[in-house]
Structure 1
């Protein structure tokens, strides 16, 4: 199962071919923390859920938490 974040509301879904199924999770983090129970529920939804045409895929992390590193890293290795 390929898990994606999609759409303007950043919904969590399963990618099936060129379609996506909404997994009805509040966030990707909640889905991951749900462990095996969340995976089992997701599989049931994939087996019976409504498929939608693929809309825009989103980055899997919240937009407000992007960190960049760079600069003189090589100097610290010497």
Structure 2
């Protein structure tokens, strides 16, 4: 259960990294140090990784429920 709960807290970290990557790419395109096409690809990859983290969170929530009977969806204790 500790590992499953740890997954829940780390999802927020992945969300923040995704936002930082997106903002960084937008800024680099704006100042001309990155092409629009490269920025779109990097943002897409980052978003896909963020989605994997979301799905991992869902699996962790279900695992906690099956093992302990506790419903911890969308919360961290």
- TM-score by structure 2 length? 0.28
**Between structures 1 and 2, the one with greater strand share:** 1
**Between structures 1 and 2, the one with greater helix share:** 2
